[in-house]
Chain A
Amino acid sequence: GAVVSQHPSWVICKSGTSVKIECRSLDFQATTMFWYRQFPKQSLMLMATSNEGSKATYEQGVEKDKFLINHASLTLSTLTVTSAHPEDSSFYICSASFGGAKGNTEAFFGQGTRLTVV
């Protein structure tokens, strides 16, 4: 199956600093990537949809100025958590699928990034 690589797998940062998470599709071109957040014992919550070459579409309640998404190429999307606070500590996961947003295949997930803000 297709491979999506996410980096780093875990990060600890100080409150007030920014953290960048990378998501790469290694063997296919992903016109659309999705960013999720998952708190312990809860389901995946879609944060935003990242489209190559255009602005990301954010879900209601997600601050676009705090969670900066850049989809600079067909194989790379980045999520930057700016001025991170302890409540931003969570498991962040990216995914991509063939055919962009309307692909009818399964979503392939990155390994996830465990962010801890201290």
Chain B
Amino acid sequence: GQNIDQPTEMTATEGAIVQINCTYQTSGFNGLFWYQQHAGEAPTFLSYNVLDGLEEKGRFSSFLSRSKGYSYLLLKELQMKDSASYLCAVRDSNYQLIWGAGTKLIIKP
């Protein structure tokens, strides 16, 4: 079956750096997405990786290794507003988005 794993919850300090990992086993691969979701709201797009390597976008970066079925989202200079759930999603061979359960990130002052 298809499976995406990411930690359930992480805690970090304001101003620090945090890395959220995601491993996947899917039937085919057509890209990996990271989304941010605040409680009670719809997800918002953060990043997209389809080739191996690092994609940087401001304070957020996302890395992909297709051979390892692994990605991470790196958040720098953490702010209180970054407290949210971070969802990893993989587009499979049928172009369906397969979602991870999300990682709840708690930022402490």
Report B-chain residues with C-beta under 8 Å of the C-beta of A6: 42
A 95-113 binary contact with B (CB < 8 Å = 1; else 0): 0000001111111111110
Contact among B41, B50, B97, B100 with A107 in the assembled complex (CB-CB below 8 Å): B97
Instruction: For the complex, count residues of A whose C-beta is within 8 A of B.
Output: 23
Nearest chain B CB to A35 CB, angstrom units: 12
Contact status B101-A101, CB under 8 Å? no
Contact among A42, A43, A46, A110 with B42 in the assembled complex (CB-CB below 8 Å): A110
Report B-chain residues with C-beta under 8 Å of the C-beta of A105: 48
Q: Provided the pairs A42-B101, A43-B102, A44-B87 are in contact, do residues A106 and B45 lie with their beta carbons within 8 angstroms?
A: yes
Interface residues of A (CB under 8 A from B): 1, 6, 34, 42-46, 91, 93, 101-112, 114
Grouping DSSP codes into helix (H, G, I), strand (E, B) and loop, the B interface class, with mixed when no group exceeds half, is loop
Contact status B101-A102, CB under 8 Å? no
Closest A residue, CB atoms, query B41: A112
Measured CA separation A97–B7 after assembly (Å)? 28
Contact among A34, A44, A101, A111 with B41 in the assembled complex (CB-CB below 8 Å): A111
Nearest chain B CB to A56 CB, angstrom units: 14
Report B-chain residues with C-beta under 8 Å of the C-beta of A104: 30-31, 50, 91
B 29-42 binary contact with A (CB < 8 Å = 1; else 0): 01101000000111
Is B96 at the interface (CB under 8 A from chain A)?
yes
Contact status A43-B33, CB under 8 Å? no
Closest B residue, CB atoms, query A49: B96
Contact status B97-A109, CB under 8 Å? no
Contact status B45-A1, CB under 8 Å? yes
Q: Provided the pairs A101-B95, A104-B30, A104-B50 are in contact, do residues A43 and B44 lie with their beta carbons within 8 angstroms?
A: no
Nearest chain A CB to B52 CB, angstrom units: 17
